[in-house]
Amino acid sequence: MELSADVSHSRPRDAFDDHKPPKKRSRDPFAGLNQTEARVPPLPSKGQKLERKWSMGERRSAPARKRSTEPFKALKMQRALAAVPYGQRSQIKDQISEMESFEEFELLPEVQQAIADALPGLENVSPTPAQRVAIPELLGMKGKRVRRRNPVEKKEMEQFLLAAETGSGKTLAYLLPVIDAIKRAEAIQLKEEAVKLAAKEAADAERRKANLFELESPPLSKDHNPNSGRPRAIVLVPTAELVAQVGAIAKSLSHLCKFKAAPISASNTATVIRNRLFNPKGVDIVISTPFLLGSIVESNPNILSRVSHLVIDEADSLLDRSFSPITSSIVDRATPSLKQLILCSATIPRGLDTYLQKRFPDIKRLVTPNLHAIPRRVQLGVVDVNKEPYRGNKNLACADTIWTIGRSAAEHSAEGKEKIDMKRIIVFVNEREKAVEVADYLVSKGIDAIALNRDTASERASHILASFKGLAKDEEPPVPSPEAVKAAKTNYFPVGSTSTRKLVNTKVIVTTDLGSRGIDTCAVRHVVLYDVPHTTIDFIHRLGRTGRMGRRGRGIVLVGRGDRTDVVKEVREGMFKGQALI
């Protein structure tokens, strides 16, 4: 092989004038060989850098890369929830990690024993994070070894915000300390009354000795009980269904540690309400909605005269625009006698956060480590309604989704494996009118569906919800024949057709936000989000109806034209990573 005669000659200067190596050479695998000069291009000037940034390739890729790394970009547009720093969360986690038993709380023995009645069928229960965070604080325990504060020595009203994820046992977290306080106050009152009575009897005896002919003073009337119509504690909740739910828990606790609970709501008659409030044996805890209690207080202001504990459950609802005036007026009227004001919520919306900073700047925030995070055991699936076979028909996609859930269980049963449980599914819509429309459509497709909205009579609503709460025993679902299962294999219904087939093992409630707050639907494994919720707050509450207290659950969101897919994507990512939503 012979080398060229020019091999050692450099190339003419103007060949590098544009600072770029010739393209052909740079692509050549041997381009780096036989070079006598380092051809490193100089650093680009500032102007060149900008030019490069906006060149076609970079312009497309730069924002895309930013989007993928920046967390919750779509959710940041709404920023619905107040932030709780991760440092604070880990600190709380450490603090509560050592509390393993209810016995560590300085509750009265009768209150301790009553816990088992409120959690029937459960053995070796340990307190949930919400209970570990709240109970010691509400009892005034400071650290494990320090004695509880004397309930009578406390003069100023204490304010607490208990914020813990859905289905985490917040009801017991506030009820147990409140009942404990009531029982202690009652014991003190009984002691004081006994001392007074003894003093009076002694005085009477003295007087009789001094004047043998004096008539005996009449005994104290036993007809009037000073505890009648003057509760020591009030629990406010937003709906009649929640009044019944919290009332049932209070009643179960009252079997062992005796106290009188009066749940009152618009679903009770006036006579029932009167009898419960003005029971001659007295009343200790009233559970009510703010509107009902507010109207009673107008005519009987004495009802609030002795209230030492006021609980506002679902505080984010009860302090929002529609409820706030009436809730605040009850707080104001009860304040003179209040020892503890306890707000309770699964979410701290930014509106509530600002309100609390202004109205209760000293409120003590009791927050659990997983606040605002949807637990990992709840999965979120997405159905694209625009795709085949739905072609934008959400009703059809909803019916098909429900059939898919119900059918899998029916097949399982037809194979003779085991008796199947009734499946209970909640479908959430954003508008009240839509609930009826969707329920009617589902019924036309052979699904046992019912609408639950503000127009549903409260007695009927309680009845509908009972089986979803695992309280009422369902009639057993009929076991479908193998033929019926075969016939139901395809659950696609052409638009407009009415199904003659029936989905036998599934019950569905179609509801709005009304069914998303506080209802303890522990029998629900599936939630269908017919509409994409407006905010992360609604996502948390709606998905919170499943996967309660350590159970698994599944949410399915139907995404159609105009729905925020970016929001759904970010919520899913957050759930997958176990992150708190914002």
Ligand X SMILES: Nc1ncnc2c1ncn2[C@@H]1O[C@H](COP(=O)(O)OP(=O)(O)OP(=O)(O)O)[C@@H](O)[C@H]1O
Helix or strand holding residue 507 (H, E): strand 506-511
How far apart are alpha carbons 21 and 17 in whole angstroms? Answer: 10
CB 396 within 8 A of CB 442: no
Q: Which of 140, 167, 406, 515 binds ligand X (CB under 6 A)?
A: 167
Q: Which of 80, 92, 99, 127 binds ligand X (CB under 6 A)?
A: 127
Q: With binding defined as CB under 6 A, does residue 119 bind ligand X?
A: yes
Q: Which of 229, 290, 446, 518 binds ligand X (CB under 6 A)?
A: 518
Q: With binding defined as CB under 6 A, does residue 347 bind ligand X?
A: no
* N-term to C-term CA, the chain: 72
* Residue 171 Cβ vs ligand X, minimum distance, rounded to whole Å: 3
* Residue 365 Cβ vs ligand X, minimum distance, rounded to whole Å: 16
How far apart are alpha carbons 385 and 532 in whole angstroms? Answer: 12
Q: With binding defined as CB under 6 A, does residue 368 bind ligand X?
A: no
Q: Which of 158, 241, 520, 563 binds ligand X (CB under 6 A)?
A: 520
Burial of 258 (0-12, 13-18, 19+ CB in 10 A): exposed
| Cα separation values, 383 from 86, 137, 336, 393, Å | 33, 44, 54, 12
* Residue 346 Cβ vs ligand X, minimum distance, rounded to whole Å: 4
- Kindly report the three-state secondary structure assignment for every residue of 111-157: HHHHHHHHCCCCCCCCCCHHHHHHHHHHHCCCCCCCCCCCCCCCCCC
Listed ranges 6-14, 70-78, 125-133, 395-403: which one lies at the site for ligand X (CB under 6 A)? 125-133
Q: With binding defined as CB under 6 A, does residue 471 bind ligand X?
A: no
Among 489, 525, 522, smallest CA distance to 506 is for 525
Cβ distance to ligand X smaller for residue 255 or 569: 255
Q: With binding defined as CB under 6 A, does residue 253 bind ligand X?
A: no
How far apart are alpha carbons 395 and 235 in whole angstroms? Answer: 39
Q: With binding defined as CB under 6 A, does residue 166 bind ligand X?
A: yes
Listed ranges 25-33, 46-54, 165-173, 568-576: which one lies at the site for ligand X (CB under 6 A)? 165-173
* Residue 115 Cβ vs ligand X, minimum distance, rounded to whole Å: 8
Q: With binding defined as CB under 6 A, does residue 462 bind ligand X?
A: no
Q: With binding defined as CB under 6 A, does residue 128 bind ligand X?
A: yes
Q: With binding defined as CB under 6 A, does residue 122 bind ligand X?
A: yes
Residues 6 or more apart whose CB falls under 8 angstroms from that of 244 comprise 263, 265, 267, 462
- Kindly report the three-state secondary structure assignment for every residue of 259-304: CCEEECCCCCCHHHHHHHHCCCCCCCEEEECHHHHHHHHHHCHHHH
* Residue 245 Cβ vs ligand X, minimum distance, rounded to whole Å: 7
Q: With binding defined as CB under 6 A, does residue 548 bind ligand X?
A: yes
Q: Which of 74, 108, 125, 266 binds ligand X (CB under 6 A)?
A: 125
How far apart are alpha carbons 241 and 244 in whole angstroms? Answer: 5
Looking only at residues 168 through 187 of this chain, which bind ligand X when binding is defined by CB under 6 A?
A: 168-172
Alpha-helical (H) ranges within 288-393 are 290-299, 315-318, 324-334, 350-359
Listed ranges 46-54, 166-174, 276-284, 490-498: which one lies at the site for ligand X (CB under 6 A)? 166-174
Q: What share of the chain is helix, strand, coil (3-state, %, to 5)?
A: 45, 10, 45
Q: With binding defined as CB under 6 A, does residue 346 bind ligand X?
A: yes
Q: With binding defined as CB under 6 A, does residue 513 bind ligand X?
A: no
- Closest residue by beta carbon to ligand X: 169
Q: With binding defined as CB under 6 A, does residue 163 bind ligand X?
A: no
* Count of residues touching ligand X (by CB under 6 A): 22
Q: What is the CA radius of gyration of the chain?
A: 33
Would you tell me which residues interact with ligand X (CB under 6 A)?
119, 122, 125, 127-128, 130-131, 164, 166-172, 346, 518, 520, 522, 544, 548-549
